[in-house]
């Protein structure tokens, strides 16, 4: 099969398409014929060699994909050959024509969800769900500020929050991105590139502030976030690319909380609960992954450059 291989850590160009042997299923495992691959910012951090997770080289990148089960190993009962699935983590990497998974890493893909959309589910939707409901414990009637709503996690968060009965305010840096955020269910959208957008936020909330912030770029925004929280407010740090100075006093009078999260920390039981909720939302139409760009698998280096550029619009997907 063809797969993208990384033989040394470095820039996007270290990813090359190679011919390698098909993985073989063992007990409790499934082999998936990949139809679309989800590209996430974390794939670029891992490839560069600067992330806390450093696979042994050579390796095939990627944790997200969708496809059809080709074969199953002994003891597999939840899925069978021919089933359409989305993948939430893999053993051999998802940037490939086939990928080997544990049975618990594949989930049914409802018929109305395309393979490209299926590749856009795992990291973005599981992260948004984890942040909103398991970390911030958001409830219907609260106001959530999705600070960076136009990308993979942001769009997922907007759809999940809207379906959950929250008032949703999002941000994006482009006109196109803001239009998308509104289309996907936000009540209001602001431009995080204009100087007074947080003033506009306070006007929208009649000076009350927001109950929950899902933060995609904490090293830029965390200090300001603490000043726009309502009493009892929670910020979940989802994305961060540097350091920042904050004033802890801003949390005190508000009884506010800053909550970190990493998807790889989610315990198995809570992970199963997340995918059960996502399955329900995909089936009932409240969750509709948005694909901004589809590229051939061989263009993985191009996708890694694009996913870090400003002007996000849903997900970037690779097609083997």
Q: Which residue is nearest to ligand NAP (CB)?
A: 151
**Phi-psi domain of 209 (left: phi exceeds 0; alpha: psi -120 through 50; beta: other):** left
Binding track over 53-92 against ligand NAP, x by CB under 6 A: ----------------------------------------
* E strand segments, the chain: 2-6, 15-19, 29-39, 64-72, 84-88, 98-102, 106-108, 143-147, 167-172, 188-191, 210-215, 229-237, 257-260, 291-296, 315-319
List, in order, residues 6 or more apart from 285 with CB less than 8 Å away.
112
Least separation in angstroms between residue 51's CB and ligand NAP is 10
Kindly state whether residue 171 participates in binding ligand NAP, applying the rule CB under 6 A: yes
CB of 73 vs ligand NAP, minimal distance in Å: 29
Task: Please report how the helices 152-163 and 175-183 are oriented relative to each other, as an axis angle in degrees rounded to 10.
Answer: 30
Please choose, out of 5-13, 48-56, 87-95, 308-316, the segment that lies near ligand NAP by the rule CB under 6 A.
308-316
Residue 158 and residue 181 in contact, taking contact as beta carbons nearer than 8 Å: yes
In the list 172, 190, 201, 212, the residue contacting ligand NAP (rule: CB under 6 A) is 172
Identified binder of ligand NAP from the candidate list 38, 61, 67, 148, rule CB under 6 A: 148
Binding mask 97-126 for ligand NAP (x = CB under 6 A): --------------------------xx--
Touching ligand NAP, residues 251-290 (CB under 6 A): 261-263
Residue closer to ligand NAP by CB (options 80, 193) is 193
| CB 309, CB 14: distance < 8 Å | no
Nearer to ligand NAP, 115 or 145 (CB): 145
Assess 312 for contact with ligand NAP (CB under 6 A). yes
Joined tokens for residue 156: 């997922």
- Based on the number of CB atoms within 10 Å of its own CB, is 111 exposed (0-12), middle (13-18) or buried (19 or more)? exposed
- Minimal distance, residue 184 CB to ligand NAP, in Å: 12
Distance CA 146, CA 313 (A): 15
CB-wise, 76 or 266, nearer to ligand NAP?
266
Q: Does 40 bind ligand NAP (CB under 6 A)?
A: yes
Tell me the C-alpha distance between 32 and 86, whole Å: 9
Cβ-contact 287, 315 below 8 angstroms:
no
Name the nearest CA neighbour of 306 among 39, 127, 45.
39
Q: Please, which residue, 41 or 62, has the CB nearer to ligand NAP?
A: 41
- 317, with CB counted inside 10 A (0-12, 13-18, 19+), is buried
Site size toward ligand NAP (CB under 6 A) is 33
Q: Of 37, 89, 16, give the one whose Cα is nearest residue 274.
A: 89
The one segment of 89-97, 102-110, 142-150, 198-206 that binds ligand NAP by CB under 6 A: 142-150
Closest CA to 170 of 159, 158, 160, 162: 158
Length of the chain: 320
Give least dist CB 76 to ligand NAP, A. Answer: 28
Q: What residues from 175 to 214 belong to the interface with ligand NAP (CB under 6 A)?
A: 177, 192
Q: Which is nearer to ligand NAP, 95 or 98 (CB)?
A: 95
* Least Cβ distance, residue 40 to ligand NAP (angstroms): 5
Binding site residues, ligand NAP, CB under 6 A: 40-42, 123-124, 127, 147-154, 171-174, 177, 192, 216-217, 220-221, 238-239, 261-263, 307, 310-312
């Amino acid at each position: 099969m063809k797969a993208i291989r990384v033989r040394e850590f470095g820039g996007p160009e270290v990813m090359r398409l190679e011919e390698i042997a098909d993985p073989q299923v063992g007990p409790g495992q499934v082999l998936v014929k990949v139809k679309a691959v989800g590209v996430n910012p974390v794939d670029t951090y891992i490839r560069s060699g600067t992330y806390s997770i450093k696979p042994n080289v050579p390796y095939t990148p990627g944790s997200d994909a969708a496809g059809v089960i080709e074969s199953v190993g002994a003891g597999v009962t939840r899925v069978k050959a021919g089933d359409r699935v989305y993948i939430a983590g893999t053993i051999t990497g998802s940037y490939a024509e086939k990928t080997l998974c544990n049975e618990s890493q594949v989930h049914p893909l409802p018929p109305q969800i395309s393979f490209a959309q299926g590749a856009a589910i795992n990291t973005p939707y599981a992260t948004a769900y984890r942040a909103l409901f398991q970390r911030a414990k958001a409830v219907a009637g609260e106001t959530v500020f999705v600070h960076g709503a136009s990308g993979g996690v942001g769009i997922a968060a907007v759809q999940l929050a809207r379906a959950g009965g929250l008032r949703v305010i999002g941000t994006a840096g482009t006109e196109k991105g803001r239009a998308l955020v509104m289309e996907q269910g936000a009540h209001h959208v602001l431009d995080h590139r204009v100087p007074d957008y947080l003033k506009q936020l306070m006007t929208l909330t009649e000076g009350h502030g927001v109950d929950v912030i899902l933060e995609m770029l904490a090293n830029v925004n965390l200090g300001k976030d603490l000043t726009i929280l309502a009493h009892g407010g929670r910020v979940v740090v989802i994305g961060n690319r540097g350091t920042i100075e904050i004033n802890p006093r801003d949390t005190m009078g508000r009884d506010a909380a800053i909550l970190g999260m990493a998807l790889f920390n989610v315990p198995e039981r809570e992970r199963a609960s997340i995918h059960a909720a996502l399955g329900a939302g995909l089936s009932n139409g409240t969750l509709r992954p948005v694909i901004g760009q589809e590229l051939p698998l061989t263009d993985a280096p191009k996708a890694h450059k694009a996913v870090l550029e400003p002007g996000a619009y849903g997900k970037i997907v690779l097609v083997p």
